[in-house]
Structure 1
Amino acid sequence: MADNSLRFAIGDDEPLSEIWTVTVNRSDVYLSSSGFNSVMKLSLHQSGVCQMATSQQLYEERLSVLEGGPDSRTVLRWKRCITPDTGGALAARIIFAACGRWPNPSTAKASKPPLLLPCPPEGYGVELTIFYSKEDPRQHTHDIQQEMNFISVLKLANDDCVSFFGRFLELPGDFFSFRRVPKGQTLATVGFDQGGGETEWGDLSSYEILQDFENAATIYSLHNMQLKRMAR
């Protein structure tokens, strides 16, 4: 049986971002990131319910005891569109961006080398999108393929296809500046320190999970952030 999984990161010769691992359990898809130290996971369920959540252990030991902390381990939940008979439906996307420069490579050795998505030029990020479809995009041409590069496709037990596409995305000039979340959108921020020295890979990295579509959400993987710019 073919390996129905995927690992990817940003980098030209070696990973410069966190490594994402995609696994399939029948018709459910899970994405976890090394940047979350394996305590957070993006789940895309067969039912259509999608969520970003912490592990139960992290929630019970660190978050549930905080004054004003979250009342559940779910960071953000949404429902994706029903898989269409033709074309594809967006479920989630990840936008990778670095403030000024990309971090130095991690010294940790991955057990399985990830697929490396090329580093974007200055002023650009990398947009990775996740689509559901009935058709294998390798056998049928869709509109999304005209603008994005095909990365991989995973076949689910219910015969749905989960496809990954990528492209360079030009960032607005104020991308790393603080701005208010538009009305009707939901934002959650998770920050973590990647090391304080100039020789460490990244001063500060953060994740922002934003429901900016009715049936999809965006995870911003932000690197080499300055403390004053933490809140976008």
Structure 2
Amino acid sequence: MDAENALVLVAEDEPEIADVIAAYLEREGFRTVRAADGRTALELHLALKPDLVMLDVQMPRLNGWDVLAELRRRGSTPVIMLTALDQDIDKLQALRIGADDYVVKPFNALEVAARARAVLRRSGGSRGSILRVGPIEIDMDSHLASVIVGYDPQRVSLSLTLTEFRILAHMARAPRRAFSRGELVDACLPGGDALDRTVDTHLSKLRRKLEEAGAHGFINNVRGVGFRLADIS
């Protein structure tokens, strides 16, 4: 999995450290969300399904070991442990519970970003069924689409028809590309007698639903061509 658009949950209770990690990750093309304690980290993991978790060991409410154990019970989200504990037994415990990597403080933020990229690459794209364009997230396995909005991110589910979902997913595979009406008919309305203008109706409804969920300006008309899915404002 590439860093572009990958979502990283930074679970770190020291704001200064969280700020530095987030800044470097975002500069490398990641998106970030933060949690200042273990319970919030688990709540955000459940709500947002991040591609990677940067997890501090010593956190309030629930420590990193307990958070890691729960993450492993839930699935295989890659985890990099961040800690001031520089003991072999701590490293072994992290690996035993299921961490993918281990970084000891103080650390070089560039190194952390590089390790994040490496861990995602090694994970082999386990989140390949998730498509993202800005705040829009499409889960191809579950056939669900949502918009993640707000400073304290919230997931807003989209109620889409099958055709609307197909159109959104098809365009999300190549964000910023301009699709003709004919292409969208062939890809998303197969086997029917749909006319090109039918796509306009579906896209109009899809645009309205995205905007109502908080994703404004993501379906754009391209003069003489068709439509593009991208925030180019």
Fold equivalence (TM over 0.5)? no
TM-score range, shorter chain: under 0.3
TM-score (norm 2): 0.27
More helix by share: 2
More strand by share: 1
Which structure is larger by alpha-carbon Rg, 1 or 2? 2
TM-score (norm 1): 0.27
Could you say which structure has the greater relative contact order, defined with CA pairs below 8 angstroms and 6 or more residues apart? 1
